[in-house]
């Protein structure tokens, strides 16, 4: 399901999937999941960027690196 996962806080994890979607998991007890459609195709990996709240994505069969920014409000 997830190709990469990054822990943002004790109750928040962001994951990139092979299906081209980014999922935000909140509070493992409640199993809240938010799915973000990015439409980039199959995501190979995701790493934090040097910019705040930004992540670098590599896409399968594509030499480009894509930077996305995710603003999370409480």
| pLDDT at residue 34, as a whole number | 74
Q: What is the pLDDT along the chain (74 residues), one digit of tens a residue?
A: 677 888 887 888 888 877 777 888 876 655 667 777 667 778 888 888 888 888 898 888 888 888 888 777 65
d(CA 67, CA 58): 9
pTM greater than 0.85: no
d(CA 45, CA 65): 10
d(CA 42, CA 19): 5
Domain ranges in the chain? 2-69
d(CA 72, CA 63): 28
């Amino acid at each position: 399901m997830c190709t990469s996962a990054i822990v943002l806080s004790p109750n928040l994890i962001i994951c990139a999937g092979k299906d081209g979607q980014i999922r935000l998991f909140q509070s493992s007890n409640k199993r809240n999941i938010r799915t973000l459609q990015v439409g980039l195709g199959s995501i190979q990996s995701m790493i934090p960027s040097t910019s705040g709240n930004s992540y670098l994505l590599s896409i399968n069969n594509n030499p480009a690196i894509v930077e996305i920014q995710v603003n999370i409000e409480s």
